[in-house]
A = this chain, B = another copy of it.
Amino acid sequence: MIGRLNHVAIAVPDLAAAIAQYADTLGASVGAPQDEPAHGVTVVFITLPNTKIELLYPLGENSPIAGFLEKNPAGGIHHICYEVEDILAARDRLKAAGARVLGTGEPKIGAHGKPVLFLHPKDFQGCLVELEQV
């Protein structure tokens, strides 16, 4: 069912420092910061040859990553995103297997303009898993 690893998302406490490190020290291809007010984050995509790293930095009040950065002040890996062909079919299969979908259970439009869902970390080896329909 799951396809490609779309991205690994890393929450960072200092976006400029993270950009400089990936661009200069690690020599990766780093995009421009994009504010995503609907998601409460500023996002920077790092393009690797086979997948992406997504840097996340809080934007505005009530950012969904503010709590994560309080618990992990140095930052950390926030979630991984797997691609699926049919997000509703994937959701129903996961729910039938006992996995919990976060929020309303209905897909939202994610930072890439595609339908996404998040799954409960306690049901996935402690990992916050995003599914993105591609």
| Chain A residues in the interface with B (C-beta under 8 A) | 1-5, 8, 10-13, 18, 21, 24-28, 48-51, 53, 55, 72, 74-77, 80, 82, 93-94, 97, 99, 121-122, 124-127
Contact = CB atoms under 8 A, between A and B. Distances in A.
A10 B74 contact: no
11 contacts: A1-B25, A1-B28, A2-B27, A2-B28, A2-B48, A4-B49, A5-B5, A21-B124, A50-B51, A75-B125, A76-B127
Contacts of A8: 5, 8, 80
Contacts of A48: 2-5, 82
B5 A82 contact: no
Q: Which 8 A-B pairs have the closest CB atoms?
A: A1-B27, A75-B125, A76-B126, A75-B126, A74-B126, A25-B97, A50-B50, A77-B77
